[in-house]
Amino acid sequence: MPVDIHGSEEPTRRSIWRDAVAAGIYHTGALRLLQTLARNYEFKGTNRRRLLPSRRTDHPKFLILCYHRIGADGIPLFSELSPNVFEAQMRYVRRRYRVLSLDDLCDEMEKPSRKEDAVVVTFDDGYRDLHTHALPVLRKYQIPATIFLPVACIEAGEVPWYDRIFLALKVFPKDEFEVVLDRPRSFRLTSFRERLQAAAEIIQYFRTLPDDRRKEYCKTFEGRVNLPLGELKDRMLTWDQIRAMRREGISFGSHTMTHPAVSQLTESQLDTEVGDSKRILENRIGSSAVHFAYPFGKPADCGTAALPFLVRKGYRSAATTNEGVNKPGDNCFQLRRSQIGNERSISMFAFKLNQLFLSAGAQDSTVIYSGLAPVLDEPLTKSESQRPGTTNA
């Protein structure tokens, strides 16, 4: 659930210059040279100011893109990616890379068939505009994709709990909101950006609570605001839409039942969230569902207790939101995913995509093209999902 509270701000001189440099690289063909470099080498150092040590690679690298919704109206309030931008990204991916399904990815991580790098497309949460806006694009470019569903939300036709918090802060009638979290907090709400910031910080705290306590907090929180029901209606995919998408080659995986941070669940809660979500999903779509995505997806959200349940229930993979690429031999239950799809500029999207492939030797460290770092790079360990005022789902 990346919350880009920076999108409403005026572009800075740095961001304008960075985008201009990325556009120049993209339109002059220099990016092709960098892609060739990424296919054969990977950086393994961390120094941002000089050429990094590199090594030749003889194996493919796999990058999983993580999206949420395609569209710009209404819930989820934290996501605005126009269908036109999404189509440009999918067109670019299809033309420049191998595109794999998650099943193919797991096969290739066990036994690579080719050296070429590949991209996998995934979506979290199951918002309805995936049927309206994403499906036609995926169909047009013949791109397999996996959508991870919070099954109880689909069953009830209700948005996840964190969307309700975002909406509550959006419609709260005052310019200041006081709440007790780990300590008494007071949030200014004089702009939409500040409201998103406040919601993100509150959700971040709720993610650290035992799930029963989190539910109590949410109930108390919502009791202070009258949520506009019209903005909550018809936001999630229906089972009929899901089955129709399944017939067109879209795959579906579990995102738990109710989208908790699984690190905060008891054993019985894990059994329900991990096991029941798979069972119900498979019954509803009439086929197996062997892939899982951790809600929120950062190490503190994932923990380690869920892994035995995932294996026992018959899952084949589990995806995080940790930035980076995946390589043969990596653990399929700790898949890395990138959220660079929030880039509005196709040149910056293309640059960052290639940057991630080139960074495989460093993974969590900052990745640079020598000399361009000061104007182009923002640390990949601080993605949109990790900057102040942001959160993930």
- CA atoms of 6 and 109, how far apart (whole Å): 36
Residue 161: per-residue pLDDT:
96
Residue 272: per-residue pLDDT:
96
Domain presence at residue 226: no
DSSP single-letter state for residue 66 = E
Which structure tokens are listed for 266? Answer: 């008891």
Domain presence at residue 110: yes
Residue 27: per-residue pLDDT:
66
Residue 52: per-residue pLDDT:
57
Burial of 65 (0-12, 13-18, 19+ CB in 10 A): buried
Which structure tokens are listed for 356? Answer: 């991630």
Other beta carbons within 10 Å of 129: 22
User: Which DSSP string corresponds to 346-380?
Assistant: HHHHHHHHHHHHHTTTTTTS----TTTHHHH---T
Residue span of the structural domain in which 110 resides? 13-158+232-376
Other beta carbons within 10 Å of 198: 25
Q: How many domains does the chain divide into?
A: 1
CATH number at residue 364: 3.20.20.370
Domain presence at residue 201: no
Q: What is the pLDDT along the chain (393 residues), one digit of tens a residue?
A: 555 443 444 456 666 666 776 667 766 667 776 776 667 667 664 444 444 556 667 789 999 999 999 988 778 887 789 999 999 999 999 999 999 999 999 999 999 988 889 999 999 999 999 999 999 999 999 999 999 999 999 999 999 999 999 999 999 999 999 999 999 999 999 999 999 999 999 999 999 999 999 999 999 999 999 999 888 999 999 999 999 999 999 999 999 999 999 999 999 999 999 999 999 999 999 999 999 999 999 999 999 999 999 999 999 999 999 999 999 999 999 999 999 988 888 988 998 898 888 876 556 433 323 333 333 333 333 333 333 334 566
- Hey, what's the torsion of the CAs at 347, 38, 356, 13, to 10 degrees? -40
Domain presence at residue 205: no
Residue 387: per-residue pLDDT:
34
Domain presence at residue 382: no
Burial of 204 (0-12, 13-18, 19+ CB in 10 A): middle
Domain presence at residue 5: no
C-alpha 381, offset from chain centre: 14
- CA atoms of 267 and 42, how far apart (whole Å): 41
Residue 343: per-residue pLDDT:
82
The backbone torsions φ and ψ at residue 304, rounded to the nearest 5 degrees and listed phi first, read -125, -15
Which structure tokens are listed for 317? Answer: 């993979």
Residue 58: per-residue pLDDT:
72
Residue 351: per-residue pLDDT:
87
- CA atoms of 389 and 17, how far apart (whole Å): 24
Domain presence at residue 52: yes
Burial of 127 (0-12, 13-18, 19+ CB in 10 A): buried
Domain presence at residue 216: no
Prediction pTM value? 0.86
The backbone torsions φ and ψ at residue 177, rounded to the nearest 5 degrees and listed phi first, read -130, 120
